Amino acid sequence: MNLDPQTTSIKTPLPVGAVLVVGGGISGMQSALDLANSGFKVYMVEKSPAIGGKMAQLDKTFPTNDCSMCIVSPKLVEVGRHKNIELFTHSELTGLTGEQGNFSATIRSHARFVDIAKCTGCGLCEYTCPVTYRSEFPQQTDDDGKKKYPKSKDKRLITVKELPNPSSLAAWTFSVNQEKCGKCGLCSKACLQNAIIWEKGNTANVDSAKCTGCGACFTACPDKFNAVEISNAPELEKSLGAAIVTRSQELRKAFAKNQPEHCIRCGLCAMMCKEAMGINALKLHEQGIEAGVDICQMCGSCISVCPVDYLAMEKLTNRTAQPLLDEFNERLNRRKPVNIHYPQAVPRVPTIDPDSCVQLNTGNCGICSSICGVGAINYRDEINEQTVEIGSVIYSPGFEVSDPKLRAEFGYGIYQNVVTSIEFERLLSASGPTSGTVTRPGDGSHPKKIAWIQCVGSRDHSCNREYCSSVCCMYATKEAYIAREHDKSIEPTIFYIDMRSFGKNFDEYIERAKENKVRYVRAMVSRLYEDPQTGNLELRYTDETGKRLTEEFDMVVLSVGIQVHESSKQLADLLGIAVDKYGFAVTDTFSPLAASRPGIYVSGAFNGPKDIPETVSEASGAAQVASAAIASARGSRITREQLPTERELQPDEELRIGVFICHCGTNIASVVNVPEVMEYARTLPGVVYVDKPLYTCSQDSQEQMRTIIEENNLNRIVVSACSPTTHEPLFMSTIRAAGLNKYYFDMANIRDQCSWVHPLEPDKATEKAKRLTRMAVANASQTEPLQEMEFPVDTRLLIIGGGVAGMNAALSAANQGCSVFLVEKEATLGGNLNTLRQTTDHRNIQEYLNTLITKVRQDERIKVYTSSMVVEHSGFVGAFQTEIITPTGAQRTLKHGAIILATGGMENRPSLFSLGESKQVVTQAEFERMMADEPEKFSLTRHIVMIQCVGSRDKEQQDYCSRVCCNQAVKNSLSFKKLRPEGRVDILYRDMRTYGLGELSYRKSRELGVNFIRYEPEKNMPILSSTEGGLQVLVNDPSIRSDVFLNPDLLVLSTGIKPRDTDELSSMLRCTRNRHGFFIEAHAKLRPVDLPSEGLFMAGTAHGPKNIPETISQAQAAVSRALTILSRDKLTLSAVVSKVDPKNCAVCLTCVRACPYGVPVINAEHSAEINPALCHGCGICVAECPAKTISLGRYNDKNMFAKIRSERPEPQAVEEDIA
Amino acid sequence: MLPCTGRIEEAIILQAFEGGADGVMVVGCLEGDCHYLSGNIRARARVQRVSDILESIGIGGDRVRMYNLSAGEGAKFAAYANEFSEHIDQLGPSIINQVRNTKAEQVTA
């Protein structure tokens, strides 16, 4: 086992500077981006046709309710367009040879049948494909290989009350080629309009006056003659199929408002069946359509081209047809054989499913190929195998949800209104099968009462899933919460065992959900029954008082757990890495991201169930350990981005503004009338080009934007879409790639600030979108090119805090070749680790700590400053300067490029339950030390009582969950049971939050007889009293509904963790902390170790309570993030900085006084000067300068005034707010 | 959108009134929590000055207000926006718009 990646960085002479990332979910993407941004080539292999993984399927994310797709799509695009990331989608890793530093991986790419290089992702193939069912493919050639049509023996007339009424709308013209005509007269027999003039022995002719264009003659004419010809059919030059689909759409539009109840005898179904599908099962009949029910191949093409919905599968065949279901939408809606995985997919290239595509199975159809404008369809595509050379592998295959059918008592798959949580996620999603309307799959009605049943396929011995899936309590809460956001009348109820909201701000989220009328019932549901008439579901459960209850719900959501996919286990086998009995990776507590085979690293849910931020953090950590081993090869395999030279605009060049109004799927378009805004934008001064992409941010739209800019010679760009905070960098880099200065740009936020907030007022919202666009256009016309400054980067790293996080970060960074300053306030290194003895898997912490300290002390790249404090801090990312005071009282200046805050936490010691007064009352850490250091003391101990959440989750004390205490209590109870097997342990708890694989120890402790008694502070708070016999704890045990008196020899309190005092540090570094004193990350989900200020990162308990492996992986993550800066020679700084025009400067010193950072100085030329590297770009000086001689890039007066003036005063216009 | 309310100067707010706004809301970070340390304090002073000017020229000082919010307080922002918008509705069109409206009516008449 590779115990420590830091020591085993191998000495192969030439490691390969490339990494293979297996899995394209959020974990793989984060690893890939960190690696690619720190000088390594990345090959990413993803099984499905597009990257994005499970996160792309989620609607919102907890606990911030951020839209999942909105936050993940910039990552998708960044991965998709990164020069150093090579994507292998629809591919699998099939072999890995070699060893750490020098692997050779075989990647098998499955046939996609669509050329990624050619495809533009327009989706026309999917739109046009007529197949909607899984066809049975009959043999269509005889023994000689000649084509023949199947013969029907069972015919059925499809008819309705009203007889067919032929419509000649958009009809094609039919004629008989006299030379080809075989004079057989079949056309004349087939024609129902008497429009064929034919006499025996003569050629046939079409009487155009009578012909309605049904094409009966065409299908009737034998293949050997092919004498009937079509003209005046749009798209016929592509293929007959394409023409059929085109006419069908034409007719559909014509009948959209007034759909007839009868067949219009357009004949498209019969032509489609014979000419495109090669079946000939349909024939036009006087009374309707005659179907050969036995020969129907059940592809559904006739149904999809019928413009009046006359046909249906059950009319056409007696067999059961299988609709094609969309896997991305959890099989809740249909898909075509050719389909794009999901709208924002990267790459946005469809795949053709070889199992259901008619062309691939019979050689017929081929419509998609004929309609594709770029010739991207390739029916002869084959499996392709390639070998790549790599130095390390990151294995992050993710998870699948557990099979709900394992709990047969909940009737999943039998009761239609029982769905899984991931299906519900799709129902909530605006881009999901119901466009975000919560409906019952059974009847499409709107459910009112919805129940969530927790722990389906988790914490369940009966289905071999004893572990806790860690995320279900939170996602169920989120789904309930969001469901109510969609429909206020929904009454959600969550049935749970323990509420495991153990993460940062999770408890607050639960509280908010409760305020928002989400009902929580602590009960295990025993089973449920469906009312066959209403489809409602009756839940049976026993409540906490032991009462048996039944309750009816309209819909039930099963909170299914996380499990490792069978194929991931097989691949793990192939890779030769150890997995546990559930398939999760086996790793060492002290190197949590290294798999058992050197050179392979794991992250994400495959490394144990976890949520998105933990996954992202692990992914960064995995990137760090994967690159540490091959650090010497950094930069050897990458290609530098080649940007075209920036086009310099002529001073008199006319304005050519391009405006892009985004639909954002339905996010904007369902409220704002996008075409109307687009037409309006066309009228604005300077606008020469307008477009309305479905998703402006998608890769293909961005590629298009680039071409559009070049082709139309645009010189200013406006995007009316979502938030500039998330998407501006993307658009600006596209503009730059098109050769324009990226500041020739402005964005209007017509989603977050318009469609999302005015969903019920579409007209006003459209009006507002117009005005926002107008302002952005006005501003864009005033923009000027700005240049970003480049600065050399100081590659040294400052780490504040010498605990387990700080030391691990220091060693990791040193291994990556960085010099490190490690500053510790205390005299010794080790921090909180000094107080602990055993990890949850009973490993010796002190041994580990000693090796860690020795390694840190011995590494010459690490300078350790103990008993030292940070007293002053200045500079900027890439060039910081920090003053510290050393024990001698001397000040030292440290220069460095990035900072990792690892200030850690400490044990909380509240004055509760006589802690500190009675010797018999100790904390968990004290108990742990007593057992490790003086085990003999326990020889007579017969009874231990533990109380959880003492001072945690307590409004008066620490109003958050300390996350580690439940596992610590279980660990200590197991240790005690080892010392004194006959000893008794009672644990008084509120919710046992032994998340993830910690549940296994919890289970073991119960098996060993540890007794658990649940209490709620407001109901049955334990009462401690001292009696003559010693301590007495009184608590009401809800499981036996009786008071119990416990007389322990020792009372152990789980008092939780509190952060160290970082008051001064946080104001010095300008890092905000939450009200509990933990640092706030840049983004709760996707930037969990980044601080909001550039160049600052954090790890360990400074971020929030966490255990040792979590802390170590976070430390490695923080280094990974820091390396994206420290591994560069140069860093580009923002171009939006204040600049003084010395011409008008009166040297009044106003700016010098106004600047909150003390940046402006008076130079030798008697003018104020602002160092652009130090300027933060707030613009205070610009506003204060009496001479108006300071400018601030894109926020100049002329920009502001242009925006405001564009708001022309129109009569009756009432308007406010510009800020 | 601006980098900081500290960038807002009196002229920008006054331009908005000239441009037809009946009210102007300036929304900055919570006091003591300014991303740029003191920008919102300066903005408060400037908003006050604009308010004084508006009062003295008869438009009404209460048509401009400064609010402080953190980025996580979406609901509160909506409440403030509704409150301010109701407040301006009660005040009716500013004198600038009243004059313009009358002129516009005269022209159409």
* B4 contact residues in A (CB cutoff 8 A): 1178-1180
**C-alpha radius of gyration, chain A, whole number:** 35
Cβ–Cβ contact B68 with A under 8 A: no
Please say whether the beta carbons of A583 and A604 come within 8 A. no
pLDDT tens for residues A554-570? 999 999 999 999 999 99
Partner residue opposite A1216 with nearest CB, options B11, B23, B78: B23
In a domain, A305, yes or no: yes
Q: Rounded distance, CA A606 to CA B105, Å?
A: 71
- Amino acid identity of residue A962, one-letter, is S
Q: Is residue A306 part of a domain?
A: yes
Cα A766 to Cα A750: distance, rounded to the nearest angstrom: 9
Give me the mean pLDDT over the A584-604 stretch: 97
- Contact flag B21-A1207 (C-beta cutoff 8 Å): yes
| Contact call for B100 and A1211, based on CB within 8 A | yes
Averaged pLDDT, A625-644: 91
Q: Are residues A355 and A136 in contact, defined by beta-carbon separation less than 8 angstroms?
A: no
Which residues are bridge partners to A870 per DSSP?
Answer: A884
What does residue A1184 show for φ and ψ, rounded to 5 degrees?
A: -80, -30
Least confident of A203-217, A992-1006, A1124-1138, B82-96: A1124-1138
State whether B19 and A1200 contact (CB < 8 Å). no
Tokens representing A126 are 């999917």
Q: d(Cα A554, Cα A577) in Å, to the nearest integer?
A: 46
Pick the residue from chain A with its C-alpha nearest to B8: A1183
Q: Collect all residues with Cβ–Cβ distance below 8 Å to A857 and sequence separation of at least 6.
A: A864
Q: E-strand spans in A182-241?
A: 196-197, 205-206, 228-231
How many separate domains does chain A show?
7
A1156 touches chain B (CB under 8 A): yes
The predicted model gives B3-18 an average pLDDT of: 92
- List A823's β-bridge partners, or say none: A800, A865
Last residue within a domain, chosen from A1088, A1106, A1130: A1130
Check pLDDT > 70 for residue A1219. Answer: no
Angle at which helices A1197-1206 and A762-780 cross, to 10°: 140
Contacts of B97 in chain A (CB under 8 A): 1209, 1213-1214
Q: Which residues pair with B108 in a beta bridge?
A: none
What is the tally of helices (H) and strands (E) in chain A? Answer: 31, 59
Give the pLDDT confidence score for residue A1154 in this predicted structure: 94
How far is Cα A600 from Cα A619, in angstroms, rounded to an integer? 13
Q: What number is the average pLDDT over the span A41-57?
A: 97
Residue that terminates a domain, selected from A562, A580, A614: A562
By DSSP bridging, strand A519-522 and strand A491-496 are parallel
Same-domain status, A596 and A682: no
Q: How confident is the model at residue A723 (pLDDT cuts 50, 70, 90)?
A: confident
Of B9, B16, B93, the CB nearest to A1183: B9
Minimal CA separation from B58 to chain A, in Å: 18
CA distance B66 to B28: 8
Give the C-alpha separation, A202 to A146, whole Å.
28
A397: left (phi over 0), alpha (psi -120 to 50) or beta: alpha
User: Is the per-residue pLDDT at B82 higher than 90?
Assistant: yes
Mean pLDDT of A288-311: 94
Q: Are A1216 and B4 an interchain contact pair (Cβ–Cβ within 8 Å)? A: no
Residues of A in Cβ contact (< 8 Å) with B33: 1072
Same domain, A662 and A722: yes
- Least confident stretch, A116-125, A179-188, A1013-1022: A116-125
Asked if residue A132 and residue A278 are part of one domain, the reply reads: yes
CA distance A294 to A342: 36
Distance CA(A620)–CA(A842), nearest Å, equals 27
| A-B contacts at Cβ under 8 angstroms | 114
Query: What per-residue confidence (pLDDT) applies to A1214?
Result: 39
- Answer whether A840's CB lies under 8 Å from A588's CB: no
How high is the pLDDT of residue A1208? 60
Confidence grade of residue A79 (pLDDT, cut at 50, 70, 90): very high
d(CA A563, CA A582): 7
What is the rounded end-to-end Cα distance, in angstroms, of chain B?
40
Residue B108's pLDDT is 67
Helices (H) and strands (E) in chain B, counts: 4, 2
Is there a single domain that holds both residue A283 and residue A154?
A: yes
What is the arithmetic mean of pLDDT over A37-61?
A: 95
The percentage of residues in chain A with a pLDDT greater than 70, rounded to a whole number, is 98
A1124 plus A1138 within the same structural domain: no
Query: How far, CA to CA in Å, does A1113 sit from each of A4, A142, A589, A966?
Result: 12, 64, 10, 21
- Residues A57, A167 within the same domain: no
Largest Cα–Cα distance of chain B, in whole Å? Answer: 54
Q: Which of A1195, A1208, A1210 sits opposite B3 (nearest CB)?
A: A1195
Task: Give the pLDDT score at A1217.
Answer: 43
**Which of B12, B42, B101 is the closest to A1204 by Cβ?**
B12
The answer to whether A1181 and A1151 have CB atoms below 8 angstroms apart is yes
Is A175 exposed, middle or buried (CB count within 10 Å of its CB: 0-12, 13-18, 19+)?
middle
Query: Of A589-603, A781-795, A1068-1082, which has the strongest mean pLDDT?
Result: A589-603
State how far residue B52 is from chain A, nearest Cα, in angstroms.
18
pLDDT of residue B73: 65
Separation CA A1069–CA A903 (nearest Å): 13
* Nearest by CB: A1214 against B19, B22, B42: B22
More confident residue, A344 or A595: A595
Is the peptide bond preceding residue A347 cis, with omega within 30 degrees of 0?
Answer: yes
| Percent of chain A with pLDDT strictly greater than 90 | 81
Q: Cβ of A759 under 8 Å from any chain B Cβ? A: no
| Contact (CB, 8 A) for A885 and A872 | no
**Mode of pairing for the β-strands spanning A797-800 and A820-823:** parallel
What CATH number is attached to the domain comprising A505? Answer: 3.50.50.60
B35/chain A closest Cα distance in angstroms: 8
- Give the structural domain span for A740: 658-780
Residues A190 and A294 in one domain: yes
3-state DSSP call for residue B75? helix
Find the farthest-apart pair of alpha carbons in chain A and give their distance in angstroms, rounded.
Answer: 123
Phi-psi label, residue A1154: left if phi above 0, alpha if psi -120 to 50, beta otherwise: alpha
* Residue A588 domain flag: yes
Q: What integer is the mean pLDDT of A91-101? A: 96
A712 vs A730 pLDDT, higher one: A712
pLDDT tens, position by position, A454-505: 999 999 999 999 999 999 999 999 999 999 988 999 999 999 999 999 999 9
Judge if A763 and A671 occupy the same domain: yes
In a domain? residue A10:
no
Q: Which of A708, A593, A720, A608 is nearest to A1112 (CA)?
A: A593
A residues 723-742 lying closer than 8 A (beta carbon) to B? 724
- As a whole number of angstroms, the distance between CA A245 and CA A304 comes to 9
Confidence of residue A725 (pLDDT cuts 50, 70, 90): confident
In the prediction, which pLDDT does A1210 show?
A: 47
Tokens at A607, concatenated: 């490394």
Convert the pLDDT of each residue in A223-277 to its tens digit.
899 999 999 998 899 999 999 999 998 898 788 888 888 999 999 999 999 999 9
As a residue count, chain A comes to 1219
Residue A279 and residue A134 in one domain = yes
Which of the 8 DSSP states describes residue A754? I
3-state class (DSSP) for residue A891: strand
Q: Does B60 touch chain A (CB under 8 A)?
A: no
Shared domain for A311 and A185, answered yes or no, is yes
Q: ipTM score of the complex? A: 0.95
- Flag whether residue B95 sits within 8 Å of chain A, measured between CB atoms: no
Question: Which H/E stretch holds residue A947?
Answer: strand A943-947
Pairing relationship of beta strands A18-22 and A41-45 according to DSSP bridges? parallel
User: pLDDT per residue over A442-451, tens digit each?
Assistant: 999 999 999 9
Query: HEC profile for A1052-1082?
Result: EECCCEEECCCHHHHHHHCCCECCCCCECCC
Residue A274 per-residue DSSP state: I
Q: What does R_g of chain B's alpha carbons equal in angstroms? A: 15
- DSSP codes of every residue in A895-926: EESEEEE---EEE---S-TTBTTBTTEEEHHH
**Distance between B63 CA and the closest CA of chain A, angstroms:** 9
Contact A1178 B35 (CB under 8 A): yes
Q: Which residue has the tokens 């019969």?
A: A270
Interchain contact B65–A (C-beta under 8 A): no
Q: Mean pLDDT lowest for which of A256-260, A295-299, A826-830, A1016-1020?
A: A256-260
- Say which residue, A1134 or A1038, is predicted with more confidence: A1038
Look at residue A1212 in the predicted model and tell me its pLDDT.
38
Residue ranges of domains in chain B: 5-108
CB < 8 Å from A in window 25-54 of B:
25-27, 33, 35-39, 42, 46
CA distances (Å), A790 to each of A642, A731, A1131, A1139, A1161, in order? 17, 21, 5, 16, 21
- Region A117-124: what's the mean pLDDT? 78
Flag if B26 and A1219 touch (Cβ within 8 Å): yes
- Confidence band for A670, pLDDT divided at 50, 70 and 90: confident
pLDDT at residue A621 greater than cutoff 50: yes
A545 pLDDT band, cuts 50/70/90, is confident
pLDDT at residue B33 in the model: 67
Contact between A1095 and A882 (Cβ < 8 Å): no
CB A113 within 8 A of CB A352: yes
> Residue A3: what pLDDT?
39
Same domain, residue pair A616 and A536: no
Whichever domain contains A227, its CATH number is: 3.30.70.20
Cβ-proximal residues to A483 (8 Å cutoff; 6+ apart), any chain: A424, A428, A438, A450, A490, A492
Mean residue pLDDT of chain A comes to: 92
Residue-level pLDDT at A122: 72
For residue A70, pLDDT beyond 80: no
CB proximity list for A858: less than 8 A, separation 6 or greater: none
SS3 category, A758 = coil
A799 pLDDT band, cuts 50/70/90, is very high
Whether A299 has its CB under 8 Å from any CB of chain B: the answer is no
- Identify whether residues A136 and A68 lie together within a single domain: no
pLDDT at A1070: 79
